[in-house]
Amino acid sequence: MQNRWIVEYTMKAPINKIIDFSNVDGPGNRCAIFFQSCPFRCLYCHNPETIRLCVNCGTCVKQCPAQALSFEDGKVVWDDEKCVECDTCIHVCPNLATPKIKEIEVDDLVAHIKQVKPFIRGITVSGGECMNQADYLLELFQKVQRLGLTCLIDSNGIHDFRKFPELMQVCDGVMLDVKAVDPVFHQELCACDNAMVLKNLDYLLEIDKLEEVRTVILPERDEENEKTVRYVSSHLQGRSRYKLIRYRPFGVREAGITAFGNHTYPKEAMEQYELICRENATKTCVII
């Protein structure tokens, strides 16, 4: 009789966006879930509004043309029914944040995933940096795998994966960003150290959980590009897919445009990096 009064509570996490059907966030058709907040400050980030959590400064409230934002108890509140998705709030935010997030419980997210289950192979959690919510991911993955779906992590590698053995056990793989191998350049690029990223690269290979590695090839940074591609491809030795992504200016904030320009990295210039991958027996190199 006592058990009838027990209420099970699930964790909440700040979620920026859910894309029900994505074919660019891992193999097959996948539901991609983007969590808010990231320890990195990548200059070329194409969704910089996911970097920080809203500090409730109110700048966006005053400028929302649809009056979809308001102040309640000192916090910015977003009305998604009034919102016209003009992104004015994102453009005027001085803090690399957005008011358009929702705190979603695990069970509510699982219920949403069930609605699209017949059409997807699995889910991919991304960000921001989804590993900021590692405990949440563990509960989510345990419940999603019971649905017969695969679970992938898209991460910048800032958190030590060795500290999350349960999560690694239920996770089907990690898509790891290696943005730069040179520590000085990585600091310049992301405002963060890369030592843990490189340790995670080795660890994920060791436990056979590395789904793929991604590196963005940047304009006018040929030496740094080559260092990173050589390092990663020599470590992979064909054991995981290596995705080389041409820099694109879309969504990049002003500081990134100043650093890397307003033009997409030319496709014909990617051949030199593809050749390096082949030299290191990384045949599964994909140019994007």
CB distance 36 to 101 below 8 Å: yes
- Does residue 2 form part of some domain? no
- Does residue 264 share a domain with residue 234? yes
Query: Predicted confidence band at 9 (pLDDT cuts at 50, 70, 90)?
Result: low
- Distance CA(10)–CA(110), nearest Å, equals 11
Give per-residue pLDDT as tens, 127-150.
Answer: 999 999 999 999 999 999 999 999
- Distance CA(97)–CA(38), nearest Å, equals 10
| pLDDT for residue 119 | 97
- Does residue 81 share a domain with residue 39? no
Query: Predicted confidence band at 154 (pLDDT cuts at 50, 70, 90)?
Result: very high
Nearest to 171 by CA among 40, 37, 26, 282: 26
- Does residue 138 share a domain with residue 63? no
- Distance CA(235)–CA(282), nearest Å, equals 9
Give per-residue pLDDT as tens, 82-100.
Answer: 999 999 999 999 999 999 9
Mean pLDDT of the region 107-118: 98
Q: What is the pTM of this model?
A: 0.94
pLDDT over 90 (residue 7): no
* Domain extent at residue 67: 59-92
pLDDT over 70 (residue 70): yes
- Does residue 71 share a domain with residue 178? no
pLDDT over 70 (residue 5): no
Specify the CATH number for the domain of residue 79: 3.30.70.20
- Does residue 86 form part of some domain? yes
Give per-residue pLDDT as tens, 174-214.
Answer: 999 999 999 999 999 999 999 999 999 999 999 999 999 99
Query: Residues in the chain, how many?
Result: 288
3-state SS assignment for residue 233: helix
pLDDT over 70 (residue 262): yes
Sign of CA dihedral 20, 92, 132, 126: positive
- Does residue 133 share a domain with residue 65? no
Phi-psi region of 79 (alpha: psi -120 to 50; beta: other; left: phi over 0): beta
- Does residue 171 share a domain with residue 155? yes
- Does residue 5 form part of some domain? no
| pLDDT for residue 192 | 97
3-state SS assignment for residue 29: coil
| pLDDT for residue 3 | 46
Specify the CATH number for the domain of residue 240: 3.20.20.70
- Does residue 231 share a domain with residue 185? yes
Find the helix or strand (DSSP H, E) in which 281 lies.
none
Give per-residue pLDDT as tens, 199-256.
Answer: 999 999 999 999 999 999 999 999 999 999 999 999 999 899 999 999 999 999 999 9
Number of domains observed in the structure of the chain: 2
